[in-house]
Amino acid sequence: MSDVLVLDKLPASTPPEPTPRRRRGAVRRVSSKIGVALSVVVLIVALGFAVVPSVFASGDPLRGTPADKLQGPSAAHWFGTDNIGRDVYTRVVHGAGLSLSATLLAVAIALVAGSILGLLSGAVGGVVDSVLMRLVDVLLSIPTLLLALALVTALGFGTVNVAIAVGVTLIASFARVMRSEVLRVRQSLYVEAAFASGSRWHTVLRTHILRNAYPPVIALAAVQFGMAVLFVSSLSFLGFGAVPPTPEWGSLVSEGRNFLATSWWLTTLPGLVIVVVVLSAHRVGHALDRGDRA
């Protein structure tokens, strides 16, 4: 009875107050989630520009009103107008179709080709591994934009050729990541058990190795999507993309550079759209990578 009375007199335990370090960690986690969510929204809107541009901008991107030329950003023209009175926001929205389709094609080429090379290199090993990795080293030793310029010069002008050139330059990074993941998964106990149970080589490769090696490659694809947007826009800026007056993000920046001193919005606002999309893709890619490693 006395023990019960003593226990009743003890003060109720209170949870420990969070330390400043824990509070800062919680704030960082919340801000990180908000940043990833905003990045996803930006990418969805950008893809919406490409798929249904008329929903976001119903005007004609090729038709201008000379009386409205070189007007600054306003409620009527969010991104201002260019030197022949075309609405820059409308041209940015309609230019997303070519820019992002070229980007998706480039990433798809790099993802498929790089994954095949990395899978063969890591799974077969030996001479095949040495030859394929030396080829990858050669691609990595050449600056990406310089290699893309050389390829698109050989292929010719056009959005598809730009996408192929950018896709080839990104193959090496996918091959490296896939090879490292295949080598890691091959040492797992469940892979050794599958081989010991008599499973065929191609079955183990497809159902065990490839399935568990692919998530980091998908995270890399999100990061490389942003890089591909940048490279496609760079080649378009240099004049290798679609023929004017068809709008592309890079060509829009190029068209406004002659008016940069007086009409800053012609280059700055399309350039900011490119920057925001690239940074958003990087943020989502790094979030996917952290999720795979957790």
What stretches of 83-237 adopt beta strand conformation (E)? none
Distance from C-alpha of 222 to C-alpha of 47, rounded to nearest angstrom: 14
User: Residues 186-201: what's their mean pLDDT?
Assistant: 73
| Class of domain 93-293 (CATH, top level) | mainly alpha
pLDDT for 101-160, tens place per residue?
A: 999 999 999 999 999 999 888 888 889 889 999 999 998 888 888 999 999 999 888 899
Q: What is the CA radius of gyration of the chain?
A: 26
Q: Tell me the pTM.
A: 0.85
- As a whole number of angstroms, the longest Cα–Cα distance in the chain is 96
Residues in CB range of 81: below 8 A, 6 or more apart: 64, 65, 68, 69, 70, 71, 87, 88
Backbone angles phi, psi at 46, to 5 degrees: -65, -40
pLDDT for 237-288, tens place per residue?
A: 998 988 888 899 999 999 988 888 899 999 999 999 999 999 999 999 888 8
With 60 as the cut, is the pLDDT of residue 188 above it?
yes
- Direct distance between the N- and C-terminal alpha carbons of the chain, in angstroms, rounded to an integer: 51
With 70 as the cut, is the pLDDT of residue 169 above it?
yes
With 60 as the cut, is the pLDDT of residue 9 above it?
no
Tokens found for residue 271: 């350039």
pLDDT for 211-227, tens place per residue?
A: 778 888 988 998 899 99
Q: Is the dihedral of CA 92, 94, 98, 103 positive or negative?
A: positive
Domain range list for the chain: 93-293
Burial class (CB in 10 A: 0-12, 13-18, 19+), 80: buried
Strand partners, 81: 87
Mean pLDDT for all residues in the chain:
86
